[in-house]
Structure 1
Amino acid sequence: MNSDNDEGAGSLASTTDQGPLVLNGIEIPKGTRRTLSLPVARRYTAGEVSLPVCVIHGRRPGPRLFVSAAIHGDEINGVEIVRRLLKRQLLPKLRGALIAVPVVNVYGFVEQTRYLPDRRDLNRCFPGSAKGSLASRLANTFLQEVAKKATHGIDLHTGSLHRTNLPQVRASLDVPGSEALARSFGAPVILDSAIREGSLRESVGELGVPMIIYEAGEALRFDELAIKAGLRGVLSVMRDLGMLPAVKQKSRRVEPFVAHGSSWVRAPESGILVTKLQLGARVARGQWLGTISDPLAEEEEPIISPTDGVLIGRTNLPLVNEGDAVFHIGVFERLDPVADEVDYFQDELTPDS
């Protein structure tokens, strides 16, 4: 690894001193690293449920970045990204503060499920309430004790329901600061996506805090490419924010391309999905994406692409019902450079065979 440049400051850098950093009533002094447990609720077995948080407060002023994972409890790639991030030897040189929350939905993580025990989706329960449902209380705790203490945010996700995603960043690019943060991450695709009501992104945006979502891989599976890309992306953001020293690049940075729209292609019939398409593939309008076949191989129904684009998500489950979302296609103004950049990105992060 190349040596670090202590004087390097990123293009998004800020040296504003934010004052004392206090979580759960505990002040985290500059130059310290603390692990905290933020109380959420009590189990009916009388044990407590708490939110694990690691705070690294640099000696010098700078931005305060929260990095969170497993808002959906079965989306575990982000947990590993945070774990690897916290092992980086560069962190003692940090400017500002890193607030790392590897598991937000602690209930779903333990049960290996997306949801909370009350079957609520935590990412539709923000800003939450201290006196609301279990999901609402957890959302409120995270917003008050983590998001409100930050100047920037990165939330780590994966695909759901047996779906896998090409590494991509999602953001609402009309929110000030979001596009610069998204480009800094260095994923090949940025999806300009609308903010959903009740999401963490909505509540954080109302605080004036720029935030992006990283999507990659599949739920309940470690995907090494997705993890490596996610860790590199978080570190890239931290360097561009001036939180970490700059380093000499071994290779050129990935140039992200913005998709201002996307389209889910759904199964026309129930049956067995047969396809050879891989994530990142370029597709053309009218192209056969795959077929739906019955187990006796007597009938086959083609799945046709409704648009030109790049495959940014797909189902991994070959058994589909009529209407299931099967392929997710990102729509771009220019396809050739996007496809080339995705190939470069995947080749760079895939170890030699």
Structure 2
Amino acid sequence: MSSKPFILLGKEIPKGKCTVLDLEVAKLHTRTTVKVPVIIERSNEDGPVVLLLAGVHGDETNGVGIVREIISQKINKPKKGTIICIPVFNIFGYLIQTREFPDGRDLNRMFPGSKTGSLASQFAYQFTNEIAPYVDYVIDFHTGGGDRDNIAQIRCAKEDKKGLELAKIFNPPMIVFSSNISKSLRYTLNKMDKTILLFEGGKSKELNPTIINEGVNGTKNVLIHLGLIDGEITVRETPIFVENAKWIRTSHSGMFKIMAKNGSFVKKKELIGVIQDPFGEFKKRVYAPFNGHIFCINKTPIVNKGDALFHISIEG
């Protein structure tokens, strides 16, 4: 790597120090400026630049908890290269615990953004042009939306060889093959030839210690592999690979009782849930339609006909 100055958001980042910059989003109508803190730890030795990013959706607090724990444990202080942490990307949504930007848009469908577009689009544009070009690797932390509870997993495209290699190093319980979605952050960064891992774990509006621990340990593995920090890569077991999957939906409305554990392997015709009415008049059983691993469960207590209940890998 070259030893030329490292410039980010118009500021030169000195070696061997922690620098905190602000990515300015906009001003509220109260004239209060909304800023997103960007925490940069640059070592004395040149090396890869890794971005750890959470809170693209403001209510996905598990990701925020992961990056916060990485900073607290000083895992973000590299012996080589640079580690950038953005614990809360969509700070608007985080403040009021909502998924969207104030303009009602999903930030993760606005990339690469536009200089003159909506607020979310302008913010995406600012990131795409002022931060994304200067990073080599990105880990983007997400959770399931609403009451959908994801087992800890890395999502990557099957054809993304670099991403798949890093996903195995991360060593999550599951690796889910997932195509890039147009206008998403992952899609945009891949087009910029950046290596990105998308972590999914838990559900929105929670701080799940197990999920946070999975995210922290996996990130440490990646940083050790890339040579940014010292340590030994922790490998518990080979991740389960999910190539094809299907959402199991309910054919009835009612109270939803979960009978299967997230992450477990279920066999065809195995009882995995029960739908009941509040008056004790009917009980409809939900059976696994095929063999597979459950990697997401809708944990809402009340469901309507057609609602997704379980996301299960198709394994015959």
TM-score by length of 2: 0.95
Instruction: Note the C-alpha offset of 1:197.
Output: 1.1
Change (3 A) 1:91 1:70: closer
Residue matched to 2:298: 315
Q: Pairwise mapping of residues 144-163 of structure 1 onto structure 2 (< 5 A)?
A: 144-163=129-148
Structure 2 letter corresponding to 1:239: I
**Bigger RCO of structures 1 and 2 (CA < 8 A, at least 6 apart):** 1
Q: Distance in 1 between matches of 2:295 and 2:302?
A: 20
2:276·2:283 contact (CA, 8 Å) conserved in 1? Answer: yes
Q: Which residue number corresponds to residue 336 of structure 1?
A: none
For residues 112-133 of structure 1, give each alpha carbon's deviation from its aligned partner in whole angstroms, at most 9, with x where no partner exists.
0001111111101110012110
* Structure 1 residues 138-163: Cα deviation after superposition (integer angstroms, max 9, x where no partner): 11122222222111110001111111
Given that residues 73 and 105 in structure 1 are in contact (C-alpha distance below 8 angstroms), is that contact kept between their aligned partners in structure 2? yes
The answer to whether structure 1 residue 184 and structure 2 residue 169 are counterparts is yes
Corresponding residue of 2:107:
122
Deviation at 1:90, TM superposition (A): 5.1
**Greater mean alpha carbon deviation, residues 113-122 or residues 274-283:** 274-283
- Residue by residue over 1:194-213, the C-alpha shift from the partner in whole angstroms, topping out at 9 and shown as x without a partner, is 11111000000000011011
Per-residue deviation, 1:93:
4.3
- Which of 123, 126, 129 is residue 141 of structure 1 equivalent to? 126
Pair 1:67-2:46 in alignment: no
In structure 2, the residue matched to 1:9 is: none
Instruction: Detail structure 1 runs of 4+ shifted over 6 Å in the superposition.
Output: none
Distance 1:22 1:176, change over 3 A: farther
Of residues 239-248 and 39-48 in structure 1, the stretch that sits farther from structure 2 once superposed is 239-248
Q: Is the 8 A contact 1:72 1:122 kept in 2?
A: yes
Q: How does 1:231-270 map to 2 (within 5 A)?
A: 231-247=216-232, 252-270=235-253
Check whether the contact 2:59–2:205 (CA below 8 A) recurs between aligned residues: yes
For residues 293-304 of structure 1, what are the structure 2 equivalents within 5 Å? 293-304=276-287
1:283 and 1:305 in contact (8 A); partners too:
yes
Unaligned runs of 5+ in 2: none
Deviates more, 1:273-282 or 1:192-201: 273-282
Aligned: 1:224 with 2:209? yes
Q: Supply the distance in 1 between the matched residues of 2:279 and 2:285 (Cα, whole angstroms).
A: 16
Question: Residue type matched to 1:296 in 2?
Answer: F
Q: 1:313 to 1:91 in 2, by over 3 A?
A: closer
Contact 2:55 2:64 (C-alpha < 8 Å) held by counterparts: yes
Of residues 65, 89, 98, the one that matches 1:104 is 89
Distance in 2 (CA, whole Å) between partners of 1:65 and 1:110 is 26
**% of aligned pairs identical?**
34
Q: Quote the residue 1:272 is aligned against.
A: 255
CA distance in 2: counterparts of 1:176 and 1:20, whole angstroms: 31
How far apart are residue 92 of structure 1 and its match?
Answer: 4.1
Q: Gaps spanning 5+ residues in structure 1: where?
A: 1-15, 334-353
Amino acid in structure 1 at the alignment position of 2:55: A
| Aligned equivalents of 2:282, 2:73: Cα separation in 1 | 54
Once structures 1 and 2 are overlaid, which stretch shifts more, 154-163 or 272-281? Answer: 272-281
